[in-house]
Structure 1
Amino acid sequence: MCGRYVMARAIGDLVADAEAEADDALELRQSWNVAPTSDVPIVLERLVDDELVRQVHLAKWGLVPIWAKDPSVGVRSFNARSETVLEKPTFRSAVKARRCAVPAEGYYEWQKTGTGKTAVKRPYFVHPEDDSLIYFAGIYEWWKDGSKAEDDAGRWLLSCSILTMASPEETGESEVLDGLHGLHDRLPIPMGRDMMAEWLNPANKEAGPLVEQLRAEAHGVASHWTLREVPPAVGNVRNDGPELTEPVVGLFAE
């Protein structure tokens, strides 16, 4: 799964890297401890005057389906299991028509060691070896707040979710993939640039094959990551700063 991640790039850097455009007034808050329900950047494509345009928007992390009575449902839907995303009522409409990419510099995962009272959860920072951005496969939705006036700019809420899949099997062929296997049984799905172009394109209406292609390519993308143990302070959402990604001595320490 993905429950915390890092996104501290400036908006200009993100726009250039994603080959997208953004509103001049759009501002990104640097964060080394992004948590569900935060406002996060997403990359999507829309048809504007019959031309496909790639854009960066801000969305609430935690998808709120259009039929929801209130936005609180988003607290439980920040991740979407790729195996069931086409059937689950919360996600099935979005995955067919509103797909996005969620950029991140890396994400945190907690590994449980020991049992009972001696059990300890150790946080790890997972990120590309070359410090490039990860683009996770995501979906987005617009939710209308019926209690607000039609001309209220806050009437519409944009929200998103990150797709996940099973972690790699342990094969002994890749230290990174074996490390991911031992870290958690779920993996947020990363995309290469070609896959991202396919995923974002709203003209691709057949979501099923796209989801299968995501899963087929994800482990290859993840094989270029690295893992390192980081300070336990990351477990508190009130802590936020680059020191959270600093390595401590551990199994995957760099």
Structure 2
Amino acid sequence: MCGRYALSTPLIKLPPVLLNSMDQEHRSRYAPRDLIVPGEPLLACRTDQSGPEASLMLWGLIPGWLKDPSQGPRPFNARAETVADKPSFRASWRHRRCLIPASGFFEKGRIIRRIDRQPFWLAGLWERWLGSDGSEVDTCTVLTTVPNELVKPLHHRMPVLIPEGLEEAWMAAVDGHQLKAFEPLLGPWDSNGWEAVSNKDDGQLSLLSDLLT
């Protein structure tokens, strides 16, 4: 499960794929965030005909076929094992994969992060919901998988991560047998170079986290 994460990275230290795709408005509005939860807007990277594109999306995917988004669930996680078959995620899995930058994610009072404190990519899917009045809402969900040795004592699920250098391949629209190439990315990632530390040392972060526990 991934229901809380942080993007506390300064603008100039964001991954180049994301930073180079941000226009002036995105750059001027960007601010590091110590806690991001479902239902809130988040920064993501997706691709269009011209290449990578930074975008703001609501966390909690609304399927494009849903007539009334207020009546259905907005899943903030999608199981990697079944994402190709679930009606809510099937089309996004094939054509609308995205990347969500993070500096850490939270489980049971701990923040899981890279030891070198560099940001990383959560694997996501996105969807555009179109209202009858012409309104548009972009939403997303985070893919999850079985945990590695680091996360297993804390939770039975963890987010799928996309390694640096595979960003554009992940975001490219593919179908059929080409999707098989992503299967090695959907399992538990190597925990070497990662840590799970108590967030109690950060009073403000601890307070925010406790309010949502």
Quickly name the TM-score band, shorter chain normalised.
0.7 to 0.9
Question: Does the aligned pair in 1 maintain the 2:105–2:113 contact within 8 Å?
Answer: yes
Match of 1:192 in 2: 163
Give the SS at the match of 2:165: helix
2:151 aligned residue (180, 197, 200): 180
Q: Decide which of 133, 138, 146 is 1:166's aligned counterpart.
A: 146
Deviation at 1:13, TM superposition (A): 3.9
Match of 1:133 among 92, 115, 119: 119
CA–CA distance in 1 between the matches of 2:17 and 2:179? Answer: 28
Compared CA separation, residues 224 and 79, structure 1 to 2 (3 A): same
Q: Give 2:2's aligned residue.
A: 2
Hey, what's the Cα distance between the residues in 2 that align with 1:92 and 1:63? 12
Q: 2:211 maps to which residue? A: 236
Check whether the contact 1:15–1:22 (CA below 8 A) recurs between aligned residues: no
Count of residues in Structure 1 that have an aligned counterpart in Structure 2: 204
Contact 1:37 / 1:75 at 8 angstroms: preserved in 2? no
| Deviation, structure 1 residue 19 | 5.5
1:92 alignment partner in structure 2: 90
Structure-2 change in CA distance of 1:73 and 1:126 (3 Å): farther
Distance in 1, matches of 2:195 and 2:166, equals 21
Question: Which 4+ runs in 1 deviate beyond 6 A?
Answer: none
Alpha-carbon spacing, 1:5–1:164, altered in 2? closer, same or farther (3 Å): same
CA contact (8 A) 1:126 1:227 kept: yes
Code of the aligned partner of 1:83: E
Q: Contact (CA 8 Å) 1:8, 1:32: kept in 2 or not?
A: yes
Looking at structure 2, the residues matched to 165 and 73 of structure 1 have their Cα atoms a distance apart, in angstroms, of 27
Alpha-carbon distance in 2 for matches of 1:134, 1:70: 34
Residue 56 of structure 2 corresponds to residue 34 of structure 1: no
Alignment correspondent of 2:64: 66
Rounded to whole Å, the distance in 2 between the matches of 1:187 and 1:16 is: 25
Q: Which has the larger radius of gyration?
A: 1
TM-score w.r.t. the length of structure 1 is 0.73
Three-state SS of the structure 2 residue aligned to 1:68 is: coil
State whether residues 37 and 74 of structure 1, in contact with CA within 8 Å, keep that contact through their aligned partners in structure 2. no
RMSD of equivalent CA atoms: 2.2
Pick from 216, 219, 231: which aligns with 2:189?
219
Q: Does 1:205 align with 2:175?
A: yes
For 1:102, give the aligned amino acid: I
Identify the residue that residue 47 of structure 1 maps to in structure 2: 49
Q: Give the Cα–Cα distance (whole angstroms) in 1 for the partners of residues 119 and 96 of structure 2.
A: 22
Gaps of 5+ in 2: 201-205
TM-score between both structures, scaled by the size of structure 2: 0.86
